[in-house]
A and B are shown apart, each in its own frame.
Chain A
Amino acid sequence: EVQLVESGGGLVQPGGSLRLSCAASGFTFSDHYMDWVRQAPGKGLEWVGRIRNKANSYTTEYAASVKGRFTISRDDSKSSLYLQMNSLKTEDTAVYYCTRSGVDTTPYYFDYWGQGTLVTVSS
């Protein structure tokens, strides 16, 4: 069974940093592209960014709203995905979801989602 379990959320002051983790199991993590998606309280879904697999050089893509502040990384030996968030703003307050995507450059959807972790940016 595919499982994605996020952790690391919490309360942080504006301008601060936080690192989220996502522990994956039930599939060959190293094969897959992985994405982060967020949802502000009472709002819709917003794609945050993607990291590709080793075969595609672990390259990344980011939404304009987080580019230069957020960094996605992965550790295939630990089946783990990370989201380093710096220079946090109040508008980054959201539930952050880890999602699984495809294995190559063929467009693929987010087939599995974690339960999410809440990040609150407030003074």
Chain B
Amino acid sequence: DIQMTQSPSSLAASVGDRVTITCRASQGINNYLAWFQQKPGKAPKSLIYAASSLQSGVPSKFSGSGSGTDFTLTISSLQPEDFATYYCQQYKSYPFTFGPGTKVDIK
């Protein structure tokens, strides 16, 4: 199975900050990497697919990069509605696996 790790596990940031979350796969997954946002009590929402493609309707403050084993999600200017938990996920091979999540809190 492909193991996904994320760092940091949590962070505290202020409105307007630039935030970067890192995701690493235990083996190469090309660009078959997605990012999801989840708010408490809600279903996950797709943000990024194919490592760097923005899901329709998602604001351009979200961006993704990387290929192979190392990936990043960047939020260019954090807004109150962005405080949530973010998960990466590989869909290159079965079983599909998620990272443990990064919780973004208000500083």
A64 contacts B95, C-beta separation under 8 Å:
yes
Q: Which of B92, B96, B100 contacts A47 (CB 8 A)?
A: B96
Question: Is B89 a contact partner of A45 (Cβ separation < 8 A)?
Answer: yes
**Docked CA distance A63–B97 (Å):** 10
Residues of chain A with a CB closer than 8 A to B94's CB: 50, 61
B85 to chain A, nearest CB (A): 9
By the criterion CB–CB under 8 Å, are A47 and B97 in contact? Answer: yes
For residue B61, CB closer than 8 A to chain A, the reply is no
Q: Return chain B residues, CB-CB under 8 Å to A50.
A: 94
Cβ–Cβ < 8 Å partners of B99 in chain A:
44
Tell yes or no: B45 within 8 A of A by CB.
yes
Instruction: Kindly provide the distance from the CB of A64 to the nearest chain B CB, expressed in whole angstroms.
Output: 7
B44 x A97 contact (CB < 8 A): yes
Q: Is A112 an interface residue (CB 8 A)?
A: yes
Give 20 A-B contacts (CB < 8 Å), ordered by A residue: A44-B87, A44-B98, A44-B99, A45-B44, A45-B101, A47-B95, A47-B97, A50-B94, A61-B94, A61-B95, A107-B32, A108-B49, A108-B91, A110-B34, A110-B44, A110-B91, A111-B46, A111-B55, A112-B46, A115-B42
